[in-house]
């Protein structure tokens, strides 16, 4: 039996409920939001620590540290929530690879959750103590939390990288012919790939600071000197961090499988050129008012990265005889319609409502009063939630009645 036949036999016999390309596009698209918050969180954690340690230099550092501690606190919850969507999509089209890799390192896959909880608790401990009068050792909570988050990223990376190496699974499963079911090892790490992705935290948090300075520019209670400090720091972190990322990207490119022709693929080079171009834009065109546009360019760069990861996966698995295009398709229209309407209705209206309220409320000093438009949006969000819950349960009940009571 060939490896491709084994991989295809491990697929879900029920098939996929729609065109595989659609799930691939959703996978690539939704991962951008996950990694955006991963990078923002890691960058914010690092700045929170730096700000705390440098707080004696100026009040701006302390203020930045407090602010970035809050950003990271929310960032962790968002990166977790936003990790779910790509997780579901990769399990739909790459289920043989994902599950095999998770079982081969099962202890780590489970330990990932436990360590993430510990890391998040440590971050909250730092959050509750991070103030002017706090003693220096308090920072150890933050350093430990950051180390755990980085380690969790490494576990995530190893699970993905192992899933791209099916030809080595048997060696890991039964080294020397003896079956090892402990799942106690991380079997493969590609440092160039992991370090490159993680290094993007510097440009990411730099771009965030540029947008942050623009966002708070309307607040009369925030010292403009602090915002200038944040903008200058953001520019520096981005401009000095990008070349490091570029070097790591070139290392990753040189580390790709030599027989896959990936090194010559235009997408990898486009990613490298875009990274250099973004650093140049930030260095020369980051005057006040351009923060949002630059941040959006950073998100576009992450879309390139996401697509590049997928190009690598396709190129590596194709020679083994695995392609998502030949996955059995069993279209399930009710689920597809429920999914699409939930995404647009609940995601668009409820998510849009929260985002609008948060955006507007943060720009006002003191009490925020919602305008007519936001009030309408909130009514629409509540209405759509009621419709959604009613549809969800009615549909489930109808299927249950059909299965249990009808012949």
Residues that bind ligand HEM (CB under 6 A): 31, 34, 38, 79-80, 83-84, 86-87, 90, 116, 149, 152-153, 156-157, 160-161, 193-194, 197, 309
Give Cα 236 distance to the centre of its chain.
24
**Pairwise CA distance, residues 282 & 236, whole Å:** 9
Nearer to ligand HEM, 197 or 279 (CB): 197
Q: Taking the complex as a whole, how short is the minimal distance between the CB of residue 34 and ligand HEM, in angstroms?
A: 6
Alpha carbon 344 to its chain's center: 21
Q: Are 115 and 151 in contact (CB under 8 A)?
A: yes
Residues 80, 111 contacting (CB under 8 angstroms): no
| Residue 186 C-beta: closest distance to ligand HEM, Å | 12
User: What residues contact 72, with CB distance under 8 A and at least 6 apart?
Assistant: 41, 44, 45, 48, 123
Nearer of residues 64 and 302 to ligand HEM, judged by Cβ:
302
CB within 8 Å of 361: residues ≥ 6 apart: 368
Closest to ligand HEM by CB, 299 or 370: 299
Q: How far apart are CA 271 and CA 252, in angstroms?
A: 12
Contact 35, 305 (CB under 8 A): yes
Minimum CB separation of residue 94 from ligand HEM in Å reads 6
Question: Exposed/middle/buried for 385, CB within 10 Å: 0-12, 13-18, 19+?
Answer: middle
276 Cβ contact partners less than 8 Å away, ≥ 6 residues apart: 242, 246
Specify the DSSP element, H or E, that contains 104. Answer: helix 95-104
- Spell 112-134 as b/e; 16+ CB within 10 A means b: beebbeebbebbebbbebbeeeb
* Contacts for 223 with CB less than 8 Å, ≥ 6 apart: none
Smallest distance from ligand HEM to CB 39, Å: 8
Decide whether 38 or 233 has the Cβ nearer to ligand HEM.
Answer: 38
Measured from the CB atom, is 32 or 227 closer to ligand HEM? Answer: 32
- Residue in the block written with tokens 């290392």: 251
Minimum distance, C-beta of residue 157 to ligand HEM, in the bound complex (Å): 4
Tell me which residue has tokens 């739909």.
92
For 215, the token pair is: 């966002």
Q: Which long-range contacts (CB under 8 A, 24 or more apart) does 49-53 make?
A: 49/139, 49/142, 49/143, 49/146, 52/130, 52/134, 52/138, 52/139, 52/142, 53/136, 53/139
CA 138 to chain centre: 28
80 versus 370: smaller Cβ distance to ligand HEM: 80
Select from 43, 70, 40, 65 the least CA-distant residue to 52.
65
């Amino acid at each position: 039996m060939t490896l491709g036949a084994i991989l295809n036999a491990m697929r879900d016999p029920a098939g996929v409920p729609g065109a595989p390309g659609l799930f691939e596009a959703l996978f690539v698209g939704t991962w951008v939001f996950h990694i955006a918050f991963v990078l923002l969180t890691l960058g914010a954690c690092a700045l929170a620590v730096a700000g705390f340690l440098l707080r004696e230099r100026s009040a701006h550092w302390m203020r930045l540290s407090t602010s970035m501690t809050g950003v990271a606190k929310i960032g962790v919850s968002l990166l977790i929530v936003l990790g779910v969507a790509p997780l579901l999509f990769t399990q739909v089209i790459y289920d043989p690879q994902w599950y095999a890799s998770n079982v081969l390192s099962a202890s780590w896959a489970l330990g990932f959750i436990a360590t993430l909880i510990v890391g998040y608790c440590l971050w909250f401990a730092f959050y509750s103590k991070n103030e002017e009068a706090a003693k220096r050792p308090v920072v150890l909570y933050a350093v430990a939390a950051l180390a755990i988050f980085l380690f969790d990223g490494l576990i995530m990376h190893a699970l993905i990288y192992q899933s791209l190496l099916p030809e080595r699974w048997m060696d890991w499963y039964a080294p020397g012919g003896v079956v090892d079911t402990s799942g106690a090892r991380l079997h493969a790490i590609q440092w160039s790939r992991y370090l490159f992705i993680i290094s993007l935290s510097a440009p990411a948090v730099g771009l965030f600071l540029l947008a942050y300075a623009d966002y708070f520019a309307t607040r009369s209670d925030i010292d403009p000197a602090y915002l200038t400090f944040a903008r200058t720091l953001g520019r520096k972190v981005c401009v000095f961090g990008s070349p490091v990322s570029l070097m790591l990207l070139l290392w990753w490119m040189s580390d790709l499988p030599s027989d896959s022709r990936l090194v010559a693929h235009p997408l990898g080079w486009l990613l490298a050129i875009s990274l250099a171009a973004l650093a140049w834009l930030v260095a020369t065109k980051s005057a006040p008012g351009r923060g949002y546009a630059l941040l959006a360019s950073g998100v576009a760069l992450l879309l390139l990265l996401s697509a590049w990861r997928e190009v690598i996966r396709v190129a590596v698995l194709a020679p083994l005889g695995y392609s998502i295009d030949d996955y059995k398709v069993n279209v399930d229209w009710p689920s597809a319609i429920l999914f699409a309407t939930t995404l647009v209705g609940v995601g668009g209206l409820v998510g849009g409502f929260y985002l609008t309220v948060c955006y507007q409320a943060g720009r006002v000093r003191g009490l925020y009063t919602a305008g007519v438009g936001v009030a309408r949006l909130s009514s629409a969000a509540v209405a759509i939630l009621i419709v959604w819950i009613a549809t969800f349960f009615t549909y489930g009940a109808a299927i249950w009645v059909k299965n249990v009571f009808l012949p």
